[in-house]
């Protein structure tokens, strides 16, 4: 049986994809993504919704921002996070379709 032709991605691209998917693999991070796909929020707002301390939410955001998922913008004394990766919506559609349908 012959395998269907697929693009032959190099090792570094596959490693980066795997690393970023691992970063998403946490309940609080999935919730943060859900929230940020619907608007921009501060660390405190995200932490409160997720039921986690602000310093833990900051660490989650830092990891996801390092993968290019989010950007931050300072407004006065507040820092707001928003989605930077346009494909995050498609990833969340897959997750929600598989795990959150009643």
Q: 39: domain range?
A: 21-98
Whether 7 maps to a domain, the answer reads: no
Q: Is 32 exposed, middle or buried (0-12, 13-18, 19+ CB in 10 A)?
A: buried
Distance CA 70, CA 88 (A): 10
Q: Report pLDDT digits (tens) over 7-45.
A: 777 889 889 889 999 999 999 999 999 999 999 999 999
Whether 94 maps to a domain, the answer reads: yes
Q: How far is CA 44 from CA 9, 16, 25, in A?
A: 39, 29, 21
Predicted confidence (pLDDT) at residue 51 exceeds the cutoff of 80:
yes
Domain count, the chain: 1
Strand ranges (DSSP E) for the chain? Answer: 41-42, 70-75, 78-83
pTM: 0.87
Give the CATH number, domain containing residue 67.
Answer: 1.10.10.10
Whether 25 maps to a domain, the answer reads: yes
Whether 78 maps to a domain, the answer reads: yes
Q: Mean of the pLDDT values across residues 57-80?
A: 96
Q: Report pLDDT digits (tens) over 81-98.
A: 999 999 999 999 999 999
What pLDDT is recorded for position 65?
95
């Amino acid at each position: 049986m012959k395998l269907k032709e697929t693009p032959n991605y190099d090792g570094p691209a596959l490693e980066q994809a795997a690393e970023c998917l691992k970063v998403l693999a946490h309940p609080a991070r999935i919730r943060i993504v859900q929230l940020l796909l619907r608007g921009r929020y501060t660390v405190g707002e995200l932490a409160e919704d997720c039921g986690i301390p602000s310093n833990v939410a900051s660490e989650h955001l830092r990891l996801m921002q390092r993968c290019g998922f989010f950007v931050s913008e300072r407004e006065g004394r507040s820092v707001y996070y928003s989605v930077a990766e346009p494909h995050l919506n498609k990833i969340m559609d897959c997750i929600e379709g598989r795990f959150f349908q009643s």
